[in-house]
Chain A
Amino acid sequence: MNNEELLAAILDCVEYGKVNKESPYPLAMKGRDGADELTRDALAKGVPPADILNEALIKAMDRVGQKFSEKKIFVPQMLVSAKAKNSALAHLKPYFSSGEVKRKGRFIIGTVSGDLHDIGKNLVSMIVEGAGWEVIDLGVDVSSRKFGESLIKYPDAVVGLSALLTTTMVNMKTITRELKNINPFVKVIIGGAPVSDAFRADAGADGYARDPQGAVVFLNSLTKQK
């Protein structure tokens, strides 16, 4: 395979969730190399790591996020794609550390205090990471203090707040206010089943996304403004 073919093959593996040669899923790709082997081969052949990130991984996860948003695929398909993406990203880690490949920015995410639901938050993390961002996942039941400490550590980060319950989404309001106190320029995006754009306006947050792809669109719009 030449470089273009390798990139196209990695893209396919991530889009359809082929992690490595052993992985049984998807059936149509059984026995073939997965994102893991192909990424290793591509780097060995001198394909620039930035091309693997931009031309294969980000493009594939963009398609995945798009299909999820259109309800053409569901959580399981998204999870296997994310797993395939992670197996490729593992090979790129040294290039991130050395600075040879740059991410678009940092994204701090967590489920707000009082709320233990992490599925939606995890899906957003996967898609945002797949879009080329470094994700700092603070977990569930995250207090404004914990969000604040993370923002102080990563002052240039965008912050994402997740909640599933109508009773906990109100905490997004206080957390947003605290974060804006720490850094008036911080951008905060919120999401979760009960959340709406009307609530976002009231909470003083900058963005609302109804699905993971919406979060990526918002984040990427910030990099364009810079």
Chain B
Amino acid sequence: MNTITSDIRQGRILVSDGAWGTFLHEKGLLPGECPELWNLNKPEEVFAIAKSYIDAGADMIETNSFGGNSFKLAFFGLAAKVYDINKAAAQISRDAAGPDIHVLGSIGPTGKMIIMGDVTNEELYDSFSKQAVALYEGGADALVIETMSDIEEAKAAIKACRENTKAEVICTMTFEKTGEKSFHTMMGITPAAMVSEAIAAGADIIGANCGNGIRNMIGIVEEIRSVDAKIPILIHANAGAPVYKDGKTVFPETPDEMAEYVNLLINAGANIIGGCCGTTPGHISKIAGIVRRNK
């Protein structure tokens, strides 16, 4: 299997997968239940999610390990299971992927803030290292650090992945539209500011995930491209911002609505496109259709 970056260097546009969290809830995960524990208790359900995205045409799938760091697992009394849970997450996705589809080990934020004195850089690095090693040993060929808002936490995670595994390292942050043409994370980081810091820390691929829909992602990609013409960019967009309707929260963008923006995103300079909260195999299938048609 080629690396993701070598495929991109050859000019390919790649398709990533869609939501995991919202998908798990549809399969019966209860609020307050530890999603990552399903890797040990209900691996067949987790496998089914991975498989559904491969069937939809994804070139890469993530793992069910977004909250698999020691801080979040400790809340569920599972701190001792960090290795087992993450290794199982990668194994399940690898089983579904076979040898030719990339497996991206998902690493989300710890929820602890350095600036608040909750945690030190070293503690973050140690926590991310344990998670990264387990995902890598379980079969992930890349690691995706995602939904980051603090660049210091993102850098600790990038270094942990880079220095303790041979996986390709991807880092995406979550930006909010803060002005006509400006985007910031909750901690005030702009896409342009992320670029040099994430690359210096060792990221192979950078980008954005979550947020308020695919439309905003175009401006974010343009801003990254304005400071770096080459770095591969991955976008995992939500199916819009959640809206409350008839007693239910829904992510409003349909596969067709999201698909309208795929070419604009590619033209802006994105190299890998997939989904985040609220996206389904239906969304990924549409995105894959457009990407393949362009070939």
Interface residues of A (CB under 8 A from B): 71, 73-77, 79-80, 113-119, 141, 165-171, 193-196, 198-199, 202
Interface residues of B (CB under 8 A from A): 22, 25, 30-33, 72, 75, 111, 113, 115-116, 149, 176, 178-179, 184-188, 242-245, 247, 249
Closest A residue by C-beta to B33: A114
Most chain-B CB neighbours within 10 Å: which of A74, A169, A171? A74
- The docked-state distance in angstroms from the alpha carbon of A76 to that of B22 is 29
- Please tell me if the beta carbons of A79 and B116 are within 8 angstroms of each other in the complex: yes
- B residues within 8 A CB of A77? 188
- Please tell me if the beta carbons of A202 and B244 are within 8 angstroms of each other in the complex: yes
- The docked-state distance in angstroms from the alpha carbon of A167 to that of B116 is 27
- Please tell me if the beta carbons of A71 and B179 are within 8 angstroms of each other in the complex: yes
Given the known A-B contacts A79-B116, A114-B30, A116-B72, are A196 and B244 also in contact in the complex, defined by CB atoms under 8 Å? yes
- The docked-state distance in angstroms from the alpha carbon of A202 to that of B246 is 9
* B141 CB, min distance to chain A CBs, angstroms: 30
- The docked-state distance in angstroms from the alpha carbon of A202 to that of B115 is 37
Give the 6 A-B residue pairs with the shortest CB-CB distance, closest first.
A74-B188, A114-B32, A114-B31, A166-B249, A199-B244, A71-B178
- B residues within 8 A CB of A73? 188
* B88 CB, min distance to chain A CBs, angstroms: 22
- The docked-state distance in angstroms from the alpha carbon of A119 to that of B110 is 11
- Please tell me if the beta carbons of B72 and A75 are within 8 angstroms of each other in the complex: no
- Please tell me if the beta carbons of A198 and B31 are within 8 angstroms of each other in the complex: no
- The docked-state distance in angstroms from the alpha carbon of A202 to that of B243 is 13
* B148 CB, min distance to chain A CBs, angstroms: 13
- Please tell me if the beta carbons of A117 and B31 are within 8 angstroms of each other in the complex: no
- The docked-state distance in angstroms from the alpha carbon of A221 to that of B182 is 33
- The docked-state distance in angstroms from the alpha carbon of A79 to that of B186 is 12
Closest B residue by C-beta to A143: B32
- The docked-state distance in angstroms from the alpha carbon of A79 to that of B244 is 31
* A211 CB, min distance to chain B CBs, angstroms: 11
- The docked-state distance in angstroms from the alpha carbon of A169 to that of B25 is 14
- The docked-state distance in angstroms from the alpha carbon of A6 to that of B93 is 62
Given the known A-B contacts A71-B179, A166-B249, A167-B31, are A117 and B187 also in contact in the complex, defined by CB atoms under 8 Å? no
- A residues within 8 A CB of B113? 79, 119
* A180 CB, min distance to chain B CBs, angstroms: 19
Contacts A75-B188, A113-B31, A169-B249 aside, 17 further interface pairs with beta carbons under 8 A come to A71-B176, A71-B179, A71-B184, A75-B149, A76-B115, A76-B187, A76-B188, A77-B188, A80-B115, A114-B32, A117-B111, A167-B25, A167-B31, A171-B31, A195-B244, A196-B243, A198-B243
- A residues within 8 A CB of B32? 113-115, 141, 168
Given the known A-B contacts A74-B186, A171-B31, A199-B244, are A118 and B22 also in contact in the complex, defined by CB atoms under 8 Å? no
27 A/B residue pairs, CB under 8 Å, sorted by A: A71-B176, A71-B179, A71-B184, A73-B188, A74-B185, A74-B186, A74-B187, A76-B187, A79-B113, A80-B115, A114-B32, A115-B31, A116-B75, A117-B111, A118-B111, A119-B113, A119-B186, A166-B22, A166-B249, A168-B31, A171-B31, A194-B242, A194-B249, A195-B244, A196-B243, A198-B243, A198-B245
- The docked-state distance in angstroms from the alpha carbon of A174 to that of B73 is 27
- B residues within 8 A CB of A194? 242, 244, 249
Most chain-B CB neighbours within 10 Å: which of A80, A114, A119, A166? A166
* B238 CB, min distance to chain A CBs, angstroms: 11
- Please tell me if the beta carbons of B242 and A166 are within 8 angstroms of each other in the complex: yes
Most chain-A CB neighbours within 10 Å: which of B72, B75, B184, B188? B188
- Please tell me if the beta carbons of B31 and A79 are within 8 angstroms of each other in the complex: no
* A187 CB, min distance to chain B CBs, angstroms: 21
- The docked-state distance in angstroms from the alpha carbon of A199 to that of B249 is 9
- The docked-state distance in angstroms from the alpha carbon of A96 to that of B247 is 43
- B residues within 8 A CB of A119? 111, 113, 186
- B residues within 8 A CB of A199? 244, 249
- A residues within 8 A CB of B176? 71
* B109 CB, min distance to chain A CBs, angstroms: 10
- The docked-state distance in angstroms from the alpha carbon of A199 to that of B32 is 21
- A residues within 8 A CB of B30? 114
- B residues within 8 A CB of A79? 113, 115-116
* A86 CB, min distance to chain B CBs, angstroms: 12
- The docked-state distance in angstroms from the alpha carbon of A37 to that of B113 is 27
- The docked-state distance in angstroms from the alpha carbon of A193 to that of B188 is 17
- The docked-state distance in angstroms from the alpha carbon of A116 to that of B25 is 16
- A residues within 8 A CB of B186? 74-75, 119
